[in-house]
Amino acid sequence: MQLLLKSIFTCALIVIFVYATAQSLIELHRNESRQELYGISRNLSQEGQSSFLSRRLRQISLGEDADEGIEDPDGSLAKKAESDLSPDKEELRECKPGLVLPLWLPQRNISVGDRLLRGFAYFLLLIYLFVGVSIIADRFMAAIEAITSIERTVTVRGPHNEKQVMHVRIWNETVANLTLMALGSSAPEILLSVIEIYAKDFESGDLGPGTIVGSAAYNLFMIIAVCMIWIPAGEVRRIRHLRVFFVTAAFSIFAYVWLWLILSVFTPGIILVWEAIVTLLFFPLTVLWAYIAERRLLVYKYMDKNYRVNKRGTVVAGEHDQVEMGAEKGTKQSLAITQRDNDAEAFDEARKEYISLLSELRQKYPEADLEQLEMMAQEQVLARSNKSRAFYRIQATRKMVGSGNLMRKIQERAHSDLTEVKAQLHPADDDDSDDPTRIYFEPGHYTVMENCGEFEVRVVRRGDLSTYATVEYETQDGTASAGNDFVGKKGSLSFPPGVDEQRFRIEVIDDDVFEEDECFYIRLFNPSENVKLSVPMMATVMILDDDHAGIFAFTDSAFEVSESVGRYELKVMRYSGARGTVVVPYWTEGDTAIEGKDFEEIHGELVFENNESEQVIELFILEESSYEKDVSFKVFIGTPELAPDDDMAAQIRAVEKKNANELTELDRILLLSKPRTGELSTATIRIRESQEFKATVDKLVAKANVSAVLGTSSWKEQFKDALTVIPADESEFDRDDDTLEEVPSCFNYISHFFCLFWKVIFAFVPPTDICGGYVTFVVSIVVIGVITAIIGDAASYFGCTLNIKDSVTAILFVALGTSIPDTFASMIAAKHDEGADNCIGNVTGSNAVNVFLGIGLAWTIAAVYHSSHGMTFNVEPGTIGFAVALFCGEALIAVLLIMVRRCHKGIGAELGGPKVSKYISAAILVFLWVFYVVICILEAYDIIRV
Tell me the mean pLDDT per 10 residues along the chain, length 946: 49 53 54 55 52 52 47 51 45 70 84 86 92 87 80 63 64 73 78 90 87 88 90 85 81 87 88 93 87 66 44 42 38 35 53 67 66 67 63 74 65 62 54 67 82 86 86 88 86 89 87 68 88 86 74 87 79 80 90 85 88 86 66 90 76 71 66 78 82 60 60 83 71 44 73 88 90 89 92 90 86 85 82 79 78 90 93 83 85 91 88 90 93 88 75
Q: Tell which residue, 124, 207, 129, has the closest CA to residue 783.
A: 129
Where in the sequence of the chain do the CATH 2.60.40.2030 domains occur?
438-544, 552-689
Tell me the C-alpha distance between 27 and 33, whole Å.
10
119 residue type, one letter:
G
Model confidence, pTM:
0.63
The conformation of residue 717, written as its DSSP 8-state character, comes to: H
Burial class of residue 3 in the structure, from the number of CB atoms within 10 Å of its CB (0-12 exposed, 13-18 middle, 19+ buried): exposed
Sign of CA dihedral 141, 146, 152, 157: positive
At residue 318, the pLDDT reads: 43
Tell me the C-alpha distance between 120 and 16, whole Å.
11
**How many residues does this entry show for the chain?**
946
At residue 480, the pLDDT reads: 84
Q: Tell which residue, 334, 316, 317, has the closest CA to residue 325.
A: 334
308 strand-pairing partners: 316
Tell me the C-alpha distance between 851 and 857, whole Å.
9
What is the fold, at CATH topology level, of the domain defined by 552-689? Answer: Immunoglobulin-like (2.60.40)
Q: Is the peptide bond before 102 cis (omega within 30 degrees of 0)?
A: no
- Beta-strand ranges (E) seen in 876-935 are 911-912
Tell me the C-alpha distance between 632 and 594, whole Å.
9
The conformation of residue 565, written as its DSSP 8-state character, comes to: G
Tell me the C-alpha distance between 112 and 114, whole Å.
5
- Beta-strand ranges (E) seen in 423-468 are 437-441, 445-449, 454-462
Q: Tell which residue, 794, 885, 887, 937, has the closest CA to residue 16.
A: 937
Tell me the C-alpha distance between 833 and 909, whole Å.
14
* Residues 574/590, Cβ–Cβ less than 8 Å: no
Contacts of 190 (CB under 8 A, 6+ apart): 183, 212, 850, 853, 854, 857
Tell me the C-alpha distance between 317 and 295, whole Å.
10
* Residues 136/787, Cβ–Cβ less than 8 Å: yes
Q: Tell which residue, 447, 425, 439, 444, has the closest CA to residue 468.
A: 439
596 residue type, one letter:
G
At residue 783, the pLDDT reads: 93
How many CA within 13 A on the CB side of residue 838?
A: 25
At residue 939, the pLDDT reads: 86
The conformation of residue 743, written as its DSSP 8-state character, comes to: P
Tell me the C-alpha distance between 446 and 506, whole Å.
11
At residue 670, the pLDDT reads: 65
What is the fold, at CATH topology level, of the domain defined by 438-544? Answer: Immunoglobulin-like (2.60.40)
At residue 737, the pLDDT reads: 44
Contacts of 226 (CB under 8 A, 6+ apart): 5, 823, 826, 827, 922
At residue 703, the pLDDT reads: 55
What is the pairing mode between strands 445-449 and 567-575? unpaired
Contacts of 595 (CB under 8 A, 6+ apart): 588, 601, 633
Tell me the C-alpha distance between 423 and 695, whole Å.
12
Q: Tell which residue, 541, 366, 331, has the closest CA to residue 444.
A: 541
Sign of CA dihedral 594, 600, 603, 604: negative
